[in-house]
Structure 1
Amino acid sequence: METKLIDVLQPIKANDFLLPEGKSLQELTTMMLQRIGSVHPVLRDDLIHSIFTAFIERGHYNNEQLRNILQSVLNKNYLFYRIGMSKKEEDAVFKRSFSVLLIPPIMKKHREKPFLKEEEIHRVWDNLKKYMQQESDHRGYVQGKGWAHAMAHAADALDSVAACDEITSEEVKQMLPIIRTQFLIDQPYLFDEEERMVTAILTMFKKIEPNEQLEWIETLLYERESWDNPNEDIIINNCKHLLRALYFRMLEGNNRQLRQVLEDLLKELRKQEAY
């Protein structure tokens, strides 16, 4: 089945993402959705993801088709597939992470020419919030299976939805603590997840007041509970990387106060280091 789908999709990509004559777009879409979480990295990433993105960006789908794809990936069989049930390092994460990665191109089309109702945008945000609260597989690149990168993909989705006019300051303020919780964990982020998330954070910051930005940043300082638990060093490292990523992005623009706070937090964090 997967080999046959690769044989169908490779010529489409090679031919500048043109749909072959006589090929049903709906049938192809269904086939790609069914295999969106394949552990075959070429099929999942190089072909299905690339073709979906190109088809969306080039207007192959009408508004109703885009809405249907969005509704599909937000359900329990995609974005929430086996979430909270799957064992550590189970392959279910690929389906979740590549489902969430379909959200950005659809949101981009909406921002260019709105077609989703306001309540639909809020529903996407609510689902992303639930997903962020529940995702526990933080692997980046998986040998032999390619990118899982769930938190980086979630960051891209958050950035794309937060940029929509419909998202409110209150919704942003509810999401920011969840991001903190996801990054101050005892599993190391090794593949620039913090950089992707900082892009989303800065988009969200546009929706809230400077004092609210400051209050949230100050919550990022992690204070060690034990000097004997090496897992705490992983948390501190994740904290350090997120703060540094924020700091260097703040070098652009008039962000002197936030930069100073980040500098102070990084200095304070050194006191938590075990060396």
Structure 2
Amino acid sequence: MENNLKAILKEIKEDNYEVPATIDVNELILRMMDNIGSLDIELREKLINSTMYHLIMKNKIPDKKLIEVLKMSIDKNHLFFGIGEKGTDSVFTRTFSILLIPLILIKHRESNFLSKEEIKVVYVKVVDYFLKEKDLRGYVEHKGWAHSVAHAADALDDLALCSEIEYKELLYILEIIKEKVCISNYVYINEEDERLVTAVISIMNRGLISDKELCKWINSFSNYKKTGLYPEDDNLLTNVKSFLRSLYFRIIKLENKKSLVEGIRKGLEIISNFN
């Protein structure tokens, strides 16, 4: 079945992602969703993911069908498939399902086909997933990208850009980002910090959260609690430093964010001298 799907998707890719008239697009989408976490790297990353991207971005999928795909992507068989597991292959289903969310939200911001209630449901699901995801691996040897934190950050970023997401939701996104940064059991090595910072920048640009509140949030990173264990404390410090440095260099040239830049500088100074 996978080989047959690969052949179809290769043909579509070679024809600039035009689906032949002989192919039922709805059936094709269902087959791709059924195989979205395939362990075949080519099928998962270079065919299913890229085909869904082009079909969505080129408006080849009607709004009504996009809503169905969105609901499917956040269900128990996709975004929450095997949730809580670590080191298993279920992570690929979760992390490639969440990649569909930003694409659909981009199209929504163009044509406003999702209701506020539907956006809020997506927000709740993504936040729930982000907090429950325990498999933090980036690139998995012989199996390709898992990248759960980076992919989730992309979804949080596009949610933050939606006008339906308001002050309290944006504030909570900042809190869960901090929670995901301040971990001691894993060191992020695949630029997860940069993807998380992108979401933070989008939140800043909404203008709903004051610089005073943002400074308070930034300052809170220097209050992390040490475990007294090695390498756990070192892992935690590395993650916090990487995130704050990434945020620092993204906003350092912004004239209206000097207080935040200074807050980050002081925070880094504190944790760098922390004993």
Same-fold call, TM > 0.5? yes
Deviations 1:86-107 (A, max 9, x none): 2x21011100000110001100
Match of 1:60 in 2: 60
- Paired-residue identity, %: 37
Cα displacement (A) at 1:45: 0.8
Give matches, 1:183-262, under 5 Å. Answer: 183-186=181-184, 187-205=186-204, 206=206, 207-223=208-224, 225-254=226-255, 255-262=257-264
Match of 2:172 in 1: 174
Residues matched between the structures, number: 271
Deviations 1:129-148 (A, max 9, x none): 10111011110001111100
Q: Is the 8 A contact 1:66 1:106 kept in 2?
A: yes
Cα displacement (A) at 1:226: 4.8
Give the Cα–Cα distance (whole angstroms) in 2 for the partners of residues 34 and 73 of structure 1.
Answer: 10
Cα displacement (A) at 1:15: 1.1
Cα displacement (A) at 1:123: 0.9
Give the Cα–Cα distance (whole angstroms) in 2 for the partners of residues 222 and 136 of structure 1.
Answer: 23
Cα displacement (A) at 1:21: 2.2
Match of 1:12 in 2: 12
Match of 2:141 in 1: 143
Q: Please, which runs of 5 or more residues in structure 2 have no aligned partner?
A: none
Deviations 1:176-222 (A, max 9, x none): 11111111112010100000110001111223111111111111225
Which one of 229, 246, 270 corresponds to residue 272 of structure 2? Answer: 270
Give the Cα–Cα distance (whole angstroms) in 2 for the partners of residues 4 and 60 of structure 1.
Answer: 22
Q: Is the 8 A contact 2:182 2:224 kept in 1?
A: no
RMSD: 1.2
Give the Cα–Cα distance (whole angstroms) in 2 for the partners of residues 39 and 244 of structure 1.
Answer: 35
Cα displacement (A) at 1:228: 4.5
The residue type paired with residue 70 of structure 1 is L
Cα displacement (A) at 1:224: 5.0
Cα displacement (A) at 1:69: 0.2
Give the Cα–Cα distance (whole angstroms) in 2 for the partners of residues 158 and 130 of structure 1.
Answer: 12
Residue 163 in 1 paired to residue 161 in 2? yes
The residue type paired with residue 76 of structure 1 is K
Q: Is the 8 A contact 1:80 1:96 kept in 2?
A: yes
The residue type paired with residue 126 of structure 1 is V
The TM-score normalised by the length of structure 2 is: 0.95
Q: Is the 8 A contact 1:223 1:272 kept in 2?
A: no
Q: Is the 8 A contact 2:211 2:259 kept in 1?
A: no
Distance 1:223 1:71, change over 3 A: closer
Distance 1:228 1:32, change over 3 A: closer
Give the Cα–Cα distance (whole angstroms) in 1 for the partners of residues 224 and 95 of structure 2.
Answer: 31
Q: Is the 8 A contact 1:184 1:222 kept in 2?
A: no
The 4+ residue runs of structure 1 with deviation greater than 4 A are: none
Cα displacement (A) at 1:230: 1.5
Give the Cα–Cα distance (whole angstroms) in 1 for the partners of residues 142 and 188 of structure 2.
Answer: 19
Give the Cα–Cα distance (whole angstroms) in 2 for the partners of residues 267 and 188 of structure 1.
Answer: 21
Give the Cα–Cα distance (whole angstroms) in 2 for the partners of residues 220 and 35 of structure 1.
Answer: 39
Give the Cα–Cα distance (whole angstroms) in 2 for the partners of residues 5 and 183 of structure 1.
Answer: 38
